[in-house]
Amino acid sequence: EKRVLVTFGGGSVKKNGVYEQVREALKGFEVIEFWGIESNPKIETLREAIQLGRENQVDFLLAVGGGSVIDGTKLIAAGLLYDGDAWDLVLRGKARESLPLATVLTLPATGSEMNDGAVISCKETAEKYPFHSKHPVFSILDPSVTFTLPVYQVACGIADTYCLLYTSDAAD
């Protein structure tokens, strides 16, 4: 039986119905929930999730939220297979192995649901670095979920998208 660590942000998924959809879809699996991955995910929070995942011997992760939740879950998936501190992986910039993860996207913008990249922060040292791991094995994107987003969040997502497009073009 698969043991799935489901990661969340602040709780908007309980208001928009996504939480119930995820719970229904995961019937028959052992589900462990981790709440509280913040914007610009912090290593301090992700260490707690890694510990929870180890205690429950999870073998699959499902990130439910926006880019920050997905980014943080990429590091959690790698940190679960790493003997040292997950911040080492961030400083290295990549992980060779990670548990499989999937995503349920609720806030489009960063493309994290379809790439191998993440950005992880350290509150203690005020550092922030890119990190690369494996791509999600699948991603669920329901555009109707975005209809419930506050205008400010939609504006932030549009700004992120334009910044990504601009930096992608500049790199070519």
- In tens, the pLDDT along 115-146 reads 999 999 999 999 999 999 999 999 988 766 66
In which residue are the tokens 């601009």 written?
166
Contacts for 37 with CB less than 8 Å, ≥ 6 apart = 7, 8, 9, 45, 46, 49, 65, 68, 69, 72, 73
pLDDT tens, residue by residue, 65-114: 988 999 999 999 999 999 999 999 999 999 999 999 999 998 776 678 88
Q: Which residue has the higher pLDDT, 161 or 115?
A: 115
Cα dihedral 85/63/149/147 (nearest 10): 160
Residue with tokens 């709780």: 11
Whole-number percent of the chain with pLDDT over 90: 66
Contact 33, 48 (CB under 8 A): no
Give SS3 for 111.
coil
pLDDT confidence of residue 170: 52
Q: What is the predicted pLDDT for the residue at 119?
A: 95
